[in-house]
Amino acid sequence: MTPAPTPCSEELFDRARAVTPGGVNSPVRAFNAVGGTPRFIASARGPWLTDVDGNEYVDLICSWGPMLLGHAHPEVVAAVQAAVARGTSYGTPTEGEVTLVEEIIGRTPVEKVRLVSSGTEATMSAIRLARGFTGRDVVVKFAGCYHGHLDALLASAGSGLTTFSIPGTPGVPASSTALTLVLPYNDRAAVEAAFAEHGDRIACLITEAAPGNMGVVPPEPGFNAFLAETCRRHGALFVSDEVMTGFRVSRSGQWGTDGAVEGWRPDLVTFGKVMGGGLPAAAFGGRADVMAALAPDGPVYQAGTLSGNPIATAAGLATLRLATPDVYDHLAAVADTLRAGVADAFTAAGVPHVIQSTGSMFSVFLTDEPVRDFAGASRTDVAAYGAFFHAMLDRGVHLPPSAFEAWFVSAAHDDRAVQTVLDALPAAAEAAGS
């Protein structure tokens, strides 16, 4: 088939590259992993993106998670418009901040919450708070888990299992990652070994509540409970990063599917994405005694000019209020249909594949073994994914432009959008296999 022309996106990409590194303001948008020209989007409504050339795509990125209700939901738009009309930022407290935080506390295991503007700020602040509260300095994370671009967590594993890590990117000083331990995900023995050797120095262990940033790699049953208990035994804090999963994989996030059922609580939780409704809002929260260590109540400093911004809180509150149980039922049904379609298409094309999910978040690994950690995820066939991605794009479906990302659906993904995806899959799976 002949792909729809994209001259306006190409021209904009040229202009963008002349003035912005890679032409984008966040690297994955550049299509480096799949090749080609990113589509510049002019507008979006419901499950559809419209690019500057007038081409339409079913959106399975959903802004990398936030757009739980789909794009330009009328009630979210109205809430934002009403908020803008009252002024864009005051630098003084507002009722909207209180109400949003009350909504978050009502849905999740946290007792107190501080609002910030990005997921990175949330995890960075949670780690500082964990260090300040415990008086310890070591942080444990898992390979393949992404928590934003803070220096301490842009770390790669050291040479041994319990040796400290090395910077994951130029620009991060070795001293910033020298107190970070990077372990393989889902590996209880590695966690035991790290705590046995460094337990009395570990301030916190941070993990994606269910990793989505190496593709979806769910925690094995009881893994989060094991992490919470291990931290408790060693006097470290368990920080559950729900920036991606929060309010998406269930009403309360990943915790709603494991902690609430198994009866344990994280000490700190980070949130972002859905709770901002597509505007810059994020949060961290947790045990009241830990949060009491935060300024101005306690000595651990943290602040932000735009934290709790009135427009962002209005968008977030409208989104959370509209995220009723029906929404989660719909997301589950859409994800089920799409997963079945993806499996059928790759099976028919004879392409080895594994589909992994948590709630309605899922991803497709082009490999023949279930993926339980970053090493497993790295075995996915990246070139085949690139061919699949472009064949889907040519047929009006915008997947994440990387093999290591979750696919997101929204409450607005209706029969027409789902059918467009199902119709595109067989030929795209063939393209992946050729």
Does residue 243 belong to the site contacting ligand PLP (CB under 6 A)? Answer: yes
Output the smallest distance, CB 423 to ligand PLP, in A.
30
Query: Which of 57, 146, 185, 385 is flagged as catalytic?
Result: 146
- Supply 16's token pair: 């963008």
Output the smallest distance, CB 209 to ligand PLP, in A.
8
User: 141 an active-site residue?
Assistant: no
Which position's Cβ is nearest ligand PLP?
A: 119
Closest CA to 268 of 313, 217, 228, 316: 228
Q: Tell me the residue length of the chain.
A: 434
Choose which of 147, 353, 390, 398 interacts with ligand PLP (CB under 6 A): 147
User: 146 an active-site residue?
Assistant: yes
Does residue 123 belong to the site contacting ligand PLP (CB under 6 A)? Answer: yes
Buried b (16+ CB within 10 A) or exposed e, 306-338: bbbbbbbbbbbbbbbebbeeebbebbbebbebb
Torsion of CA 299, 303, 308, 310, to 10 degrees: 130
Output the smallest distance, CB 5 to ligand PLP, in A.
32
The stretch among 37-45, 237-245, 346-354, 363-371 that binds ligand PLP (CB under 6 A) is 237-245
Does residue 214 belong to the site contacting ligand PLP (CB under 6 A)? Answer: no
Q: With helix as H, strand as E and coil as C, how does 209-270 read?
A: CCCCECECCCCCCCHHHHHHHHHHHHCCEEEEECCCCCCCCCCCCHHHCCHHHHCCCCCEEE
Choose which of 213, 309, 363, 420 interacts with ligand PLP (CB under 6 A): 213
Cis peptide bond upstream of 38, omega within 30: no
Does residue 57 belong to the site contacting ligand PLP (CB under 6 A)? Answer: no
Are the C-beta atoms of residues 373 and 379 closer than 8 Å to each other? no
Does residue 141 belong to the site contacting ligand PLP (CB under 6 A)? Answer: no
Output the smallest distance, CB 119 to ligand PLP, in A.
2
- Using CB under 6 A as the criterion, what x/- string covers residues 266-285 for binding ligand PLP? ------x---------x---
- Supply 401's token pair: 């432009």
Place of tokens 């989007």: 41
User: 90 an active-site residue?
Assistant: no
Q: How far apart are CA 274 and CA 342, in angstroms?
A: 25
Q: Which residues bind ligand PLP (CB under 6 A)?
A: 64, 118-120, 123, 146-148, 208, 213, 241, 243-244, 272, 282
Q: What is the set of active-site residues? A: 146, 241, 273
